[in-house]
Structure 1
Amino acid sequence: MNWSTMISRLIKSRVLESDEDYEPFDELLLWMDDNPSKLDPFLIKILLNGFFDDTSNPDYMYSLIHGLNAVNNKNPDSYFKEVFDGASIIYPHAINWYTTILANGLITQRDNNKRFMAALMSTSVQNLTIIKETITSLIASSTQYISDRSHLEIVSNGRDALETIESLDILN
């Protein structure tokens, strides 16, 4: 598969307005299903190119989330780094989907805390700014649901992530 062509096709089609717009998504997801041994971290950035907040079919965006999870299951050591490095790929046109991806990361962070924090510390300033804004927004929206365990983890782990970003002292 030609990955640069796939990225272009995903970007062009991510609104999902016509039947033809679904083809690159279907091809990518089918390729991933047929090639589980090839679910390498580079696929994360390819998948991120397909997200769009104003898509006409959010179910396909959820399929991309499942694709990200499949790559994470095979490559947990590099997942967060790739997701953080991909912040500028998905921002601003799919910030709501990126928020969902980060929320999932914050909920599962308890099992991957060292990977999560190490990935934050190796992320570019541009991407850290996006991540910081997104996590701050997540914490603000999650505090109203603090009795729910997953929202409690978002708030707690999100605050830890923000402290790590602040400790880098490169955004000030």
Structure 2
Amino acid sequence: MAEIDDALWNEDIGADGYRDPAAAYHAAVFEQYKLCVEMADRVSARRNLANTFFLTLHTALLAFLGAWFSQRPRGSVPLVLGLAALLVLLGMCATWWFTVRSYHQLDKGKFAVIGALERRLPARTFVAAEWHALGEGRDWRVYLPLNRVERWIPLLFGGAYVLGFFGTAL
């Protein structure tokens, strides 16, 4: 946290030009805090949109492949074509997994900055108190962090593709 504090706080801000430097300083900190919380919320919305895109894409692909394979006799698709399709689908699953991971890393950084800002505010409601009230994500019955669930979805789709490939290839 000390690294974030060192990078976050501008020690050059002073009383020059302010009638009440403390009030101006606290107002500036609060405005920056509000902006950071809003940006964290936007990242979450973008993450949800990305998940919706990948989920829709993979669901449509599974529906298409299911319909396509149900119309073809077993073993009529060349193995090379099936393997190429499997590799493309697994690549899409990997892309989805890395996207989820990237958003998690971005959120982690944003919440670290928000937590550092909260140390300068009268109450630490968002990062400290709320996270504490949720048991810091340690007990899934109290709170199951979404990033733990999100990481499994691309893996499940990848597993379905592998099982489907071997089910149709054999």
User: What range is the shorter-chain TM-score in?
Assistant: under 0.3
TM-score w.r.t. the length of structure 1 is 0.24
Q: Which of these two proteins has the greater Rg computed from alpha carbons?
A: 2
Higher RCO, 1 vs 2 (CA within 8 Å, ≥6 residues apart)? 2
